[in-house]
Structure 1
Amino acid sequence: MKRIVLVALCGLLGACSGGDQEELRQWMVDNSANLRGNVPPLPQVKPYEPVPYDAEGSLDPFKSAKIEPDAKYKQAAGKGGAFQPDFEARELRNSLLEKYPIESLKMIGYMNINNRPLAVIQVDNKVKQVRVGDYIGLDFGMVTRITDKGVELRELIQDSAGDWSERTSSLYLQSKEGSNK
């Protein structure tokens, strides 16, 4: 039985190896004679033309004064606008929470005393109570609303032209799980 299978296998291999494939070769030569790749020409490269840059008279985008005011002398820098803060009142308040950026403050508690909400704010290792109308943060942030979930603020920020505008920010209640993240 093994011999019959071996003889049949050899016969099949012999039939495939030789033979007349001249017709196939002639067809390949005829059809590939006129084949040429069609690649479109590259676009014309324009020469580089440098553009002169004149930084004189422009505002430096990397100055910290553009981002946040740190002195009362900035108040004369621009037109001011309708929202210009009272720098002297800030100095008179001398609040601890106004000396830290809002990002470093944590709301760690909420209380409701005599139907007046209070937020408990922690900065470094100090804890302060905050009411609606108190100021916190470096951007003249006034507390406008206190809920059991967070504190809403109205901040005054100065743009690069020296104009003051309002923005709203929030400080959310931090749980013990959230403070370890």
Structure 2
Amino acid sequence: MLNLFSKLLLAGSVVTLTACGGGDYQDLDDFMADKKSRPAGMIKPIPVFKAYKAFTYSASALRSPFEKPVEVTEITRLRMASNVKPDPNRTKEYLEQFSLDSLTMVGTLQQGDVLWALMQDEEGGVHRTRLGNFMGRNHGRIVESTETYVSVIEIVPNGVDGWVERPRTIKLKTIEE
């Protein structure tokens, strides 16, 4: 049975291969010669693109367009009502020579009931701070100190001969940062 199957398979293969053996490609050669004799088409050149100029937003320091404008009467009322002002007679602390943005919290130390926050300045020095200490150029006073962040209240000018308190938080610097 296997022998008969092998013979049929061999006969089918021979018939298939002899059917493809014709060497007459004259019609294909005529078609290619006809296409090559025609003139070549024109391709439009690639258009010249202008260089992209990135937009620079220069109004970031201005009032947000989504906030109501501050009324002059409201500013006057706030100036009269606010008793906030820095103490000019207070002795400046070492970390007040640095901006708050340049200070980073790098750790904490516990000494009895006192939690010391370790702050690193822009020069690489590490300093101990605790509740009530001052730091930053805007009269920043530490009002809360935890193992993960330090809360500071800054006293900044309000723009109309007065002062306003501004809360800031300095978070603990992690290894990934």
- TM (norm. structure 2) is 0.52
The sequence identity of aligned pairs, in percent, is: 23
Letter in 1 for 2:119: I
Counterpart in the other structure of 1:173: 172
Corresponding residue for residue 120 of structure 2: 122
* Structure 2 segments unaligned to the other structure (5+ residues): 1-61, 63-78
Q: Deviations over 1:114-152 (max 9, x none)?
A: 021110000012110001000010111100111111000
- CA RMSD, aligned part only? 1.9
CA distance in 1, matches of 2:118, 2:168: 17
Residue type of the partner of 1:113?
Q
Runs of 5+ consecutive residues of structure 1 not aligned to the other structure: 1-60, 62-77
Q: How many residues align?
A: 99
Aligned counterparts, 1:86-101, within 5 A:
86-89=87-90, 92-93=91-92, 95-101=93-99
Q: Kindly report which structure 2 residues correspond to 1:10-159, keeping only aligned pairs within 5 A, or say none.
A: 81-89=82-90, 92-93=91-92, 95-123=93-121, 124-159=123-158
Tell me the distance in 1 between the aligned counterparts of 2:175 and 2:161: 40
Q: Secondary structure at the match of 1:103?
A: helix
Q: Which has the higher contact order (CA 8 A, sep 6+)?
A: 1
Q: Is the 8 A contact 1:80 1:163 kept in 2?
A: no
Q: Is the 8 A contact 1:80 1:162 kept in 2?
A: no
Distance change (3 Å), C-alpha of 1:131 and 1:86: same
1:79 to partner: Cα distance:
7.0
| 1:164 positional shift | 0.5
State the distance in 2 between where 1:102 and 1:125 align.
14
